[in-house]
Amino acid sequence: MVAGKSESTLRCYCSHLAKLALHFRQVPTEIDSDQINDYLYLVKQEHNTPSDSYFKFTVYGLRFAYRSEGLKDKRIELPEIKRGKKLPIVLSREEVKRLLNAPKLLKHKLLLGLLYGCGLRCAEVRGIKLSHIDLERKQLLVYQGKGRKDRYVPLCDMLVRGISSYIEAEKPQTWLFNAADREIAGRAGGDFDSRYSQRGVQWAVKQAAKAGGISKEMTVHTLRHTYATHLLEEGLDIMTIKDLLGHACIDTTMVYLHVAQSGRVKPFSPLERLYPAK
């Protein structure tokens, strides 16, 4: 990681900065503010999507470049990116069961089990080494997660049994989840990454959701949202959940208070009182 940014984030920034540099045939940090504003306007016109992701990552890439070069004044001149206040999508407990039962491969079952059972990010589940797993103490070390922070998360008995069975069957060497041979062969260079790919993890989640008949919009991060929400609903305090998720700020964790069905009185619809079940 560089300045707390993941490899995939840095690749995204570099891609957008390279397009900017090719457009003006200049190093991005040397382009004047008027040209930057014209370019951002052009991006808005050509990539007008609901999420504005192309525009946002162009701005984020420029901010990162300016910060790296100590160009504070140029950073201030960039437009502010307002984050949407969307609540996370969360699965019900029954949907989680269907999802976990869907995969045919033990590898995919364990992968999904760790994403939900430990609240891991995609990069974190890919980065699990055998040395990070303590089956006796039932703990998993999440090594250098977002923000380059380590944390421990508990492993339940089901995950301990699943990991033991998987290691015995697959005999992984360094990483818990290795890439398929054909995937490794397709990667360029001798210093290849033998971990299961990000695309592979995303594919496994999408396929399980499809096979499990889950109609909600599913991503790898949905399982992390579901983990946090279900813990909150089971009575775990918000500060402990913050630490388990590896959040730097409690405000990030507080969003789950708006999703969880917990409290002294469980939320209900007034229609239930008008037409009570017989």
pLDDT tens string 159-215: 999 999 999 999 998 999 998 755 554 554 444 578 999 999 999 999 999 999 999
**Which of these is catalytic: 74, 146, 225, 242?**
146
pLDDT higher than 80, residue 264: no
Amino acid at 22: L
For residue 185, what pLDDT is reported?
47
**Which of these is catalytic: 16, 74, 108, 121?**
121
For residue 139, what pLDDT is reported?
95
User: 12-32 burial, b for 16+ CB within 10 Å, e for fewer?
Assistant: bbeebbeebeeeeeeebeebe
- To the query of whether residue 67 is one of the catalytic residues in this protein, the response is no
For residue 84, what pLDDT is reported?
63
* CA–CA distances in Å: residue 91 to residues 95, 144, 149: 6, 27, 27
- To the query of whether residue 161 is one of the catalytic residues in this protein, the response is no
For residue 166, what pLDDT is reported?
97
Domains along the chain?
Answer: 7-76 (no CATH), 94-213 (1.10.443.10)
Helices marked H in 212-266 — which ranges?
220-233, 238-245, 250-254
**Which of these is catalytic: 74, 107, 224, 230?**
224
C-alpha span between 270 and 150 (Å, rounded) = 45
Structure token pair of residue 81: 């990116």
- To the query of whether residue 93 is one of the catalytic residues in this protein, the response is no
pLDDT higher than 80, residue 278: no
Asked if 222 and 206 count as a contact pair (C-beta separation under 8 A), the reply is no
For residue 83, what pLDDT is reported?
66
Average pLDDT value for residue range 204-229: 95
DSSP characters for 89-128?
P---HHHHHHHHHS-SSHHHHHHHHHHHHHT--HHHHHT-
Asked if 244 and 153 count as a contact pair (C-beta separation under 8 A), the reply is yes
**Which of these is catalytic: 13, 39, 227, 256?**
256
- To the query of whether residue 247 is one of the catalytic residues in this protein, the response is yes
Q: State the pairing for strand pair 149-154/133-134.
A: unpaired
Residue 25 φ/ψ region, left for φ over 0, alpha for ψ in the -120 to 50 degree band, beta for the rest: left
Q: How far is CA 80 from the centre of its chain?
A: 23
* pLDDT > 90: percent of the chain: 49
- To the query of whether residue 16 is one of the catalytic residues in this protein, the response is no
- To the query of whether residue 63 is one of the catalytic residues in this protein, the response is no
